[in-house]
Amino acid sequence: MLTLKVINENREEVIRKLAKKRFAAEEVVNQIVTLDEKRRSTQTALDSQLSEINRLSKSIGGLMKEGRKEEADAVKQQVTELKEQSRSNEAVLKEVEESIQQLLVTIPNLPHDSVPEGNSAEENLIERSGGSFPQLSPDALPHWELAKKYDLIDFELGVKITGAGFPVYKGRGSRLQRALINFFLDNARDAGFVEIQPPYVVNAASGFATGQLPDKEGQMYHVGLDDLYLIPTAEVPVTNIYRDVILEEKDLPIKNTAYSACFRREAGSYGKDVRGLNRLHQFDKVEIVCIDKPENSYMRLDEMVWYVQTLVEKLELPWRIVRLCGGDMSFTSALTFDFEVFSAAQQRWLEVSSVSNFESYQANRLKCRYRNEERKIQLCHTLNGSALALPRIVAALLENNQTPEGIRIPAALVPYTGFELID
């Protein structure tokens, strides 16, 4: 979340920048500034009272030793009154601080200056693209029909066992999933990311620290009896490793990767755009997370974007990178690049990765800091990206590589699948 210092020192800039995210910030920012003024004046009064209580309390013993009992009793009464006043101010201070906190968590992160204006995905900017578009026959099948034809994925069985959005992978479909997971993890390791195997459930503190709570509470599966949440992405548990941690500058950057299943209640509307693997309640994903010094974070973001590009290139998929406009960005992001691959049978672009810099927004919630060479402690910057999410990658691989003989496996994946063709 934003710090009080940022809001107090840059009130008009905060309001202006948040307008790019289509967030009307003026009222809430002004409320915070007013409450913070009250907080500071109350804290000043409280500090003065506590100092006076300390001074008077020390004088009581001396007065008693000198036999000045009446004066000592008067001072005791004064101390009693000051203590009552200080307790009142402590209560006011606590209430004001809680009100400020409740308002702060409703404010999104500030967008980076390079974020374009716009209200929706139609106004995102295409940064660059690559890959060859496959030429399919007129009778080419979408992935949900290919999955049925080759007995790779059973969507109906998933409905029977759990419900819509929980497919069952079978045979070579399962092997393709496992091959992609291992392929992504091995590539991440070679790129310097340290693998983590995280829990799939987190507590509310972890959800709050990375910004899922309270913003996306309705999209997370909640285990009510234990007050735990199924993770929407491995970003949540991996980033929370560094909650309430002070890192040393020499240990930065931190680069982690993790595979996990991901769970999301919101699965969108009905129709062809969300059919098959296009949008699920449960899916597999390999995540990359970076923590670095503020001055290095945008260099790190560029590195992460280039890294994800190498993955889609190795998978021989047509791809493009889009810079999200303000109206299409997430609550916590300062700058986001989405990767999309072209699904030839559906004739549409499918998002397969988002790579984001959160600057200090997450770190402030996490209390993730580092100690520099001058021993000064300051907030880190955090970044994360999908590298990659599997469902739409699988959809594009099946559709784009269908031939009369079967579905061709990209050469980079063959060592992982153990087969070159699904027939």
Give the residue ranges of the annotated binding site.
Answer: 233, 264-266, 287, 351-354, 384
Which tokens sit at 406? Answer: 């079967």
Binding positions for ATP: 264-266, 351-354
Strand partners, 228: 203, 223
List b or e across 327-354, with b for residues whose CB sees 16 or more CB atoms inside 10 angstroms.
Answer: bbbbbbbbbbbbbbbbbbbbeebbebbb
The full 3-state SS of the chain, as one line of letters, equals: CCCHHHHHHCHHHHHHHHHHCCCCCHHHHHHHHHHHHHHHHHHHHHHHHHHHHHHHHHHHHHHHHCCCHHHHHHHHHHHHHHHHHHHHHHHHHHHHHHHHHHHHCCCCCCCCCCCCCCCCHHHCEEEEEECCCCCCCCCCCCHHHHHHHCCCEEHHHHHHHCCCCCCEECHHHHHHHHHHHHHHHHHHHHCCCEEECCCCEEEHHHHHHCCCCCCCHHHCCEECCCCEEECCCCHHHHHHHHCCCEEEHHHCCEEEEEEEEEECCCCCCCCHHHCCCCCCCEEEEEEEEEEECHHHHHHHHHHHHHHHHHHHHHCCCCEEEEECCHHHCCCCCCEEEEEEEEECCCCEEEEEEEEEECCCHHHHHHCCEEECCCCCEEECEEEEEEEEEHHHHHHHHHHHCEECCEEECCHHHHHHHCCCEEC
* Omega within 30 of 0 (cis) for the link into 134: no
Binding positions for L-serine: 233, 264, 287, 384
Q: Are 254 and 242 in contact (CB under 8 A)?
A: yes
